[in-house]
Structure formats: structure tokens, C-alpha cells
Amino acid sequence: MPTLFSRLSILFTLILLCLGLVTWVIAHQSQQQYFEEFTQELNRPVAMYMAQQVPLLVNGRPDSEVLAELASHVMMVNPSLEVYLLDEHGTVIATALGDNQLRKQSVDLQPINEFLSGEIRMPIYGDNPKSPDRKNVFSVYPLTDTSIAPPACDPCGYVYAVLGGERTQPVLQSLSSSYSLQSSTGMLGGVLLFALLAGIVVFFTMTRPLRAMTASISQWQLAATSPQPQAQSQQNTPFATEHHVKNELKELELTCHAMAARLAAQYQTLDDSDKRRREFMTRISHDLRTPLTSLCGAIETVLVKGRNMSSKEAQDYLLLAQRQGNRLQQLITQVFELARLDSGEYTLQLEQVSLQELAIDTVQDLQSFATQHRVRLEAHPAIPIEGGNVQADMGLLHRLFDNLLTNAIRHTPVGGLVSLTITRKDLGMEVEIADSGCGFNDLMDGCSLSSVGATKEAWWQGSANSPYQSPSADSHGTGLGLGIVAKIVDLHGGEARVWSAAGKGTKIRCLLPMTHNIANSEVHVSQ
């Protein structure tokens, strides 16, 4: 599509051409009319001189010989004259040209009467007996029959002199041979050419800010879009499909539409994020209030009863307060850790980590915890994996294994199994932690762990009467552990997915790339 500048230039050129043609026609028609007016005024008395020179009408009959001789003298002075003798009705009764050249035998008397009255401004056009299809300026004078006294008619006829006749060429035909016409046409063309160039310069200057603004907004649109969202926007927004449109106004319109769509998407994202934040704060407030209430209740009971309770009852209440205090401390620690990981300012301490060794160490550390819950804990990295090291933050990976294994043990019934398996994949190393526990209430088939952590049911929930109920006193979780795991995997450029169903256990797979390639995070590599 042509640019706005080119369309304005083309339109302006066409307007100038039409205006120049109309101006040229009007100017030369006015010039021709002025020439004919000047000619008629200059030759106005010609017919009168001819009528007064010699008697042209004698006894009601025209004297053709005298008319021919007189007309020859007059035409020597002005060769463009054509002289005719008319009767009182306008019929041609004599001519100096010869009757065989006449194509019209009569002349309309109305222009003659207007000429003789002098009430109408010149030029006045009358009939040309030689060319019926043309109108010419003329000179006319009435005749009386001087041989009859008193004359029987007044007037008895007219001397009718056509000025110009067939020798006068139209102005358009005389352009090729007329220097004045060529000169005026050249000057008009020069003026139009200057106006065209000035208009193009003005249009270019006026559209330059528009082009600059369009380019600036387009660059802002591209710069404000990350690579993946940009690829999506190129499929979903009209701006991307019409990005090569050369019309500045259309491109600006499409860019503004794309910007509006992007802003709407960002507002929706912010709204969803704010909604999740409010839900998260509601859940956390509830989960923090529960152990805090138990802690305060136990302490208040000891203070109120005091000496009236046995030492064993006091110790039981103090142990309850200690457990709830530890739980409260753990929740607060998880909240701060998740906030620190989600702030975008966390610095990874990267180093080469052997997942097999880390997995075996973590399983050994949690064996006593699994034994306490009477759950079997197994690791399956037995087959050596060549080049199975990953570039990662060892502390965060240890926290990932610890969170997943601890959650799995807590929500696995007595006699259940929790397994950790490491597998080499094309895209990196895959860590799978599976359990035979209660699972999630909602069926999950490979969904992202980040989306699970954002939902309201983002924790294992076992019914009080469920055969899969863990023997732990606090059998449900807050989902903070899953959120921390999802953020750790995201910081390492990997992905985590969940397979789970109520009463059928849970399987979580985390794929970690061999090398760290997250460009947006500040990374410190340990030597």
C-alpha cells in the first residue's frame, strides 16, 4: 500500500494537472473573447463606411458589381472580412464571395438588432453564411433605397460584414504557431511545477513527524514484548500481520490497537496476579492463625490452671505449644523464602552438581523421618549416568529434593512407598518423585507445578476418615513448599509437572537443563 506521503503527492499532482488544464482553457477562452471584443469594437464602423460610400441598393435591387468592387478594396485592408448584402428579412441577396460558396441563405436578425441598438456589450455573435455551425463577430449597418423618395421601407436591407470569417483559427489550433500562446502556456506550466515541488516538500515535512512517531511506537511495541509473547502476538494481533504496511496512518492505527491489546493483557495479568496474591494472603493468614491460636491457647491454659494441673499435663501443653511454635516458625520461614525467590533479585550460586550424589544424600538424611512415619523411602540413581552433572545452585536443589520428599512422606499412608528416580533426557536431567499417598483432590495429568501452586487447592488434602490419611498430626499443607519448588525449577530454566488423583498418589517430574541459560537473572558462578 502506498505511503501517506506518496498518496498525498499523487493526489496533489492530479489536482494541479486538472487545475492547470481548466485555468489554461479559461485563460485562453477569455483571451479569445477579448480579442473578438476588441476586433468588433475596432471594426464597428466598417459596414457604415461601405453603406455610405456608394449606393448599394437601387430601386430595391442590389448593385452586385459595385458591392464586389467595394468589398475588394475593403478586403485588401482586412482580408478576414466577408461582406454580404441582406434584405429587410435577413436573406442574403448579394455577396462578394460568390453564391456557390454560401451554405446558409439567411441570417438571424436578433443579433443585428442588438448590435444596432447598442444596449448589449460586445462581443455580439451572429450567423456566418459560409459556416452555419460557427458564430462570428460582425459589423452591420442598415440600408435605405435612395432612388425612391420617400423610401417604401426603412430599413430596406443591411450591409453585413463578418469579421474573421474562416481565416480565423481556433486558439487551440493556433497554439503551435503562436509565440504568445506558447509563452503563456510555458509560464503556467512553470507556476504549476513550482507549486507541485513546493507541495511535495510541504507534505514531506508534515508527514515526517508522523513517520517518526509511528516508528517510535513500533519500536516501543517490539521492545516492550519479550521473545515468547512477541511470537504469540504476531499470531494473535493485527499489528503483526500488517507490520509491513507502508501507510503511516494505517500502521499507526494497527500499532495503537496492538498496544491497547498488550496493555489490556498486562492489566488482566496484573489483575489475576493481584487476585492470586489476595487468595494467597487469605490462605497464609488462616494457616498462620491456626498454629498461633493453638500456641496461645496452650500457654494460656498453663497460666490459668497453674498449680491445679499436674506436671505431666503442664508438660503436654508445653510440648503442644512447642510444636505449634515450630510449625509457625516453619511457615514464616517458607513465606520469606518464597518472597525472596519471587523478588527477581535472588543471585544463584552456580556450580557443577551431581544429581545422583545429592539425591542419595537427601534420601539418607530423610530416612529417619520416613521411618517415623512408617513409609519406605527409596532412591533409584543406581545406573551410572555419564555426564549427569548440571550447572545449578546446590543449596536450592537440596531444598527442592527436601521439600518434595518431605511432602510426599507426610501425605503417604502407613506402609506406603516414596521413590526418587533420576533419568537422562535429551533436554537435561529429569528428577521424578512419586508416592502412593492421598494425592490431590483435583485430577491432574501433567499440568504445570506453577499453575498448581496458584490454585486454591494447591496442597494435599486428606479426609479425616480417609484410609490414606497420614499419621502426622498436621496432615495438610499450605502449598508454600510447592510454590518454592516451582520457583527453584523456574530459576534454573527448567519445568515441573504434576500427575495426581485423589487416593492414587502423586508424581512430580522436574526437568533441569544441563547448563544454566536464563538471561534475565543475575547469576554468580562459584569456582
User: What would the pLDDT profile of 27-40 be if each residue is shown by its tens digit?
Assistant: 878 888 888 888 88
Judge whether residue 366 has pLDDT over 70.
yes
- Cα-based distances in Å from 500 to 107, 454, 478, 486: 113, 16, 17, 16
Instruction: Convert the pLDDT of each residue in 183-208 to its tens digit.
Output: 888 888 888 899 989 988 888 887 77
What is the distance of C-alpha 503 from the center of its chain? 53
Residue 105 confidence class, pLDDT cut points 50, 70, 90: confident
Amino acid 245 reads V
Instruction: Convert the pLDDT of each residue in 293-313 to its tens digit.
Output: 888 888 888 888 877 888 888
pLDDT of residue 235: 43
Find where cell 496461645 sits.
296
Q: Say which CATH class 345-525 falls into.
A: alpha beta
Spans of all domains in the chain: 44-162, 345-525
Question: Which run of H or of E encompasses 499?
Answer: strand 495-500
Q: Which residues contact 475 (CB under 8 A, 6 or more apart)?
A: 410, 411, 460, 462, 469
- Percent of the chain scored above 90 by pLDDT? 5
Residue 375 confidence class, pLDDT cut points 50, 70, 90: very high
Instruction: Convert the pLDDT of each residue in 153-162 to its tens digit.
Output: 778 889 898 9
What does pLDDT average to over the chain?
Answer: 76
Residue 418 confidence class, pLDDT cut points 50, 70, 90: very high
Judge whether residue 457 has pLDDT over 50.
no
Instruction: Convert the pLDDT of each residue in 312-353 to its tens digit.
Output: 888 888 888 888 888 888 778 777 777 776 766 677 788 888
- CA–CA distance, 401 with 409 (Å, rounded to integer): 12
pLDDT of residue 218: 66
- CA–CA distance, 30 with 90 (Å, rounded to integer): 30
Q: Say which CATH class 44-162 falls into.
A: alpha beta
Say yes or no: do domains 44-162 and 345-525 share a fold.
no
pTM: 0.45
Higher pLDDT, 263 or 473: 263
- CA–CA distance, 218 with 306 (Å, rounded to integer): 75
